[in-house]
Amino acid sequence: MSKVKRWLKCGVIVVLTVGLIGALPLEGQAGTKKPNLSASILNIAHRGASGYAPEHTIPAYALGQKMKGDYIEIDLQMTKDGHLIAMHDETVDRTTNGTGRVKDMTLAEIKKLDAGSWFNEKYPALANPAYVGLKVSTLEEVIHRFGRNARYYIETKAPEVYPGMEEELLRVLKRTGLINGRGRTNKVIIQSFSQESLLKVHQLNPRIPLVQLLWYETAGTAQITDEEIKNIKRYAVGVGPNYDKIDQAYVSKVRQAGLEIHPYTVNEPSEMKKLIRWGVTGMFTNYPDRLHRVLREVQKD
C-alpha cells in the first residue's frame, strides 16, 4: 500500500471519490513527523459557498456543505478582547454595516453588526431576506454549529496584528474536540501567508497539517525553487498559490517534491478542468457545486 493510501485510511480527509484514501506522515525538521494530505482533489468552499451567500456566515458555510464542499474555509481575525471571528478583512467595513478595525472592537460590539445585508445590496439577483441581520460568528460558534464531523480549513489572517492568535486557535480546536488528547486532528488544516505563523503553530503542535499560502504577481511565470520547497516541507504538507499565476510545470514540480497543491480561487469550470489535468490535489472555489459537477464529469471520463 502506498504512503498516500495508508495515511488517509485513518480518515483524514473526505474526498469526492468512493471511499477514503490517504498518506502516512512525512519526516519533518529534526525528525518530527508531520501529516501529509491526499493526492485526491479536495473541494474547498472558499469562505463558504460565497458565490451564493454572504461570505463567512452560517448560511454560506451550510450551503458549502450542501453543495458537496469537503472543507469549510474560515479566515480568522481577532477581537480586542481576544475572540477569534470568521472574517476575511482586518476591518468590518466591507462585509458589515459597521466601520473600524477588528482589533479595536470587542466581540460584543461586533455582534451588533449586520453581516448579511451588504450581500443583498451588492448582488440583488441573489438577495435573500434571511440574510438581513446575520451576525458575525466566532470560530467556536462555527465549530459548534457544524460539529466534529465537518472539516475546517482555517487561515490565520494578519497574525502579526494579533499576538497570541495561534495559541488561541489551538485552544479553541482542543476545547471543541477537533484536536484530541495526543494533539492529533483529522478534521483541520491550517493555512497562512505568514510563514512565521505556520512555524509557530508547528512548534506548538507538529501534528496539525499546514499549508503555506503563496502569492505571485505575473501570470504564467510563477516559480518555486528547490530551496523554497525544501524549507516548506520542514513544517507544511502543501502550498496554496493563486491559480491564475501558475502553470503545469509549477504544479508538476510541487507534486514531484511530495507536497500537496491547493490553488485559489477557481470559479470557472474550464479553469477547474485545466488544473485537474495539471495534477492539483485540491482547489478553493466560491462555487463548490460547480467543482463537484466537474469532478463527477472527470470521474466518468
Which residues belong to the active site?
46, 88
Length of the chain (residues): 301
Q: What H or E segment, with its residue span, contains residue 232? A: helix 226-233
- d(CA 71, CA 47) in angstroms, rounded, equals 10
| Residue 295 φ/ψ region, left for φ over 0, alpha for ψ in the -120 to 50 degree band, beta for the rest | alpha
- Identify residue 181 by its one-letter amino acid code: G
Local structure of 284: helix, strand or coil: strand
Collapsing DSSP states into helix, strand and coil, what is residue 178? coil
CA distances (Å), 261 to each of 179, 231, 254, 265, 278, in order?
24, 15, 7, 13, 11
- The 10 Å Cβ neighbour count of residue 237 is 24
Q: What crossing angle do the helices spanning 195-204 and 165-175 adopt, rounded to 10°?
A: 50
The C-alpha cell that represents 61 in the structure block: 458555510
Q: Which residues of 20-50 are buried (b: 16+ CB within 10 A; e: fewer)?
A: bbbbbbbebeeeeebbbbbbbbbbbbbbbbb
| Segments in 13-75 forming alpha helices (H) | 58-66
Which residue from 157, 158, 184, 151 is spatially nearest to 170, judged by alpha carbons? 184
Rounded to the nearest 5 percent, the helix, strand and coil shares of the chain are: 40, 15, 45
